[in-house]
Structure 1
Amino acid sequence: MRRVACAPREGWRETVEEQGLVYAVPRGQDDLYWDESAYYEFTLAEVEALEEAVADLHEMCLDAAGHVVASGRYADLGITDRRVIELIERSWARRDTEISLYGRFDLRYDGSGPAKMLEYNADTPTSLLEAAGPQWFWLEQLHPGCDQWNSLHERLVAAWRKHAATLPRGPVHFAYTLTDEIGEDMMTAAYLQECAEQAGLHGTLLPVEEIGWDPALRRFVDEQDRTVNTIFKLYPWEWLVADRFGGYALDLALAGQGPAWIEPPWKMLLSNKALLAILWERHPGHPNLLPSYLDGPRELSVFGYVEKPLLGREGAGVRIVTPGHTVGTAAEPGERLCYQAFHALPDFGGNRTVLGAWVVDGEPAGLGIRETAGLITDTTARFIPHLIRG
């Protein structure tokens, strides 16, 4: 694995925006998000090792979710609402018939040892569109003789086609939130709609804020008063169940009614940072895991640890604590934390790199890379393409 500097294509911005990446240069930011002034190069052996690690990690995460359900350890995840717990348990019992579409593992890797799991974004992961499309088109144009770990588009279409017959009648609604000002959520939802339509389904894009509730017929409706029977939501479950209409969603689901949800409710167990501590507890010393705890940093205080809010996003509330030095901002008072061993992100010429390894329909499917100048990957991260040579 190495970082290679290169010249961006002439007219690159217009090119990637035409491919859907309208947030290549986010509004209100001076820095680029899509950055093709460099790329990361891997050997085939490195990618095969990463793919094997991701497959193992995904199976371990499913095992951890099953353990939480079987042992009732919801309080460790900060889940105490009895109805939410029942929703998760019913969903977990039906997991073979519900669609778990995709997820993204964030990994620490520099090519010199095993990849280390930093977290699993299993409910509402973004950076999908750029990994599936513009990154692949970049490769085809500039490096046609090379390969890329990227079967994302084909696997997403295949997943929709595989599950199409199990979905309720009517369009699949693809929901996003208007609070995302740069358009990333909307374009991610639109891309997944495109994948579903290529699989033969009919989809429609819908802001979460514009989903209506029909009290007479007890149903969710879109702007055209159509019943929402299937909904992909790029909106976290922990927000959804706490929203004004969250009670209706719970009522319907617990009555065996209402929409088919994608991602399903049991994904709440995998998008929670408490998962990291449960994984370490069940697989101590595993080469792809970092020591992690819920009751404090324990022995990690000697060399350094990372405080992570259980439901944190985009680096918010993450703090790195090492002897004599602290980086980041503390979480909100009273917010529950996971304490993970600090293993600095690899430094490639002043660029700190995180690998986003994708899982689609339970199988490893591709790679996207983000980098920052600092130790915490946040909203200033840049997306850098990659290739496989040799």
Structure 2
Amino acid sequence: MAAGWYATALLLPRLRRCVSTMPCQLLRCDPASITFNASGEPNFTADATRDALSIASHHLVALKRPVVFPTETVYGLGALALDGTAASLIFSTKGRPADNPLIVHVSSMSMLRSILPPDYTLSKTYEALIKHFWPGPLTMLFPRHADIIPNIITAGQSTIAVRMPSHPVARALIAVANAPLAAPSANSSGKPSPTRAEHVHRDLGDKVDIILDGGPCGVGLESTVVDGLGADGHLRVLRPGGVTVEDLQRTLHQELHASGDMPRVLVHRRDYRDDAMELAPTTPGMKYKHYSPSVPVVLVHTLTSPPEGMQLQTAASLVSSLRDRFPDRPVHIGLMTPDDSRLAQLLHGHEGVSWRLFPLGKVTQPAVIAQRLFDGFLTLDREGVDVILIEGVAEVDEGLAIMNRVRKAAGEAAWVSL
């Protein structure tokens, strides 16, 4: 099996040349027209939405072609998770490295059980998390069923990352296709994740056949990925995302405190390090540079002191240093900052500099900032700014996931006094 996965990886450059050149269909779906019965089967009140999902399902199952669909986190590029050839088109379409594993999406608990080893039993921790956060933006690592999960999905790892999306269009598509779907974000590898159908169309519109437009994504950041398979019983957060660490801690305390089986919630790189896993990651977003627009991004820290060797700047000195990079013409700077921050006021007013402000929402509403983050990167990039400044936020609640993404997107950082 491992040799087969490696052979498929070698074919990816060739597969990339075979990506469809057919016109892309943008099919509108109404999430409000979809409901689910107790078994997780979808019901539709809008014929157009039902028809769009039927077309997408046909492409997935009969044609073995990838399809773009909305989730509550970001738009995903999906293909059959149990078909290695179909899944390989995800990598060729995105230009994704073959050693970067994929997340598998299911629509029901019965579908989850069908892809796990028959002798595997859910732990109390996982039962609590599924009860509170599925369907939703939480991905969990499970043992891989080697007989049915292709190696290309897990990049040869012994675990598989699975989640059940809460977006009605995503969950209904999986149910109509009656097959689990592997689906990373629907963008060129390394670029900001799309949160609107138009983001996908501008980026991959000439490489995909179907984009299901279900409106803007509600969360705006990828799912939280956790690993509860360790022998010590603790829950490790491999990637912060749509479910906060505080949410996880509250839920586990509520569900497990009385039993005495209270696991700790440990955040990778904050509470522990695992160099071996970073070299051979079990989940996306750990090894490669991600979320970067085509123009430079500077992370502006205003809440913390600079580390040793870095200087605390004034806003004026930061703008001057950026202005000096473009001595022969005016510089156009994009600024992403909370609505109630003083940074925008301090930065404005310099000769030879024009500004494009993209407000992120209030400091007290990190969920709104998370929802707007990737849209801001993509909007400013499309408008042709020379550089993007983004102000850092406190790493609590959704702020932890926001700063995880911003650090991966930014090529440099500055510390500015307000």
TM-score (norm 2): 0.23
Max Rg structure: 2
Which one has more relative contact order, counting CA pairs under 8 Å at least 6 apart? 1
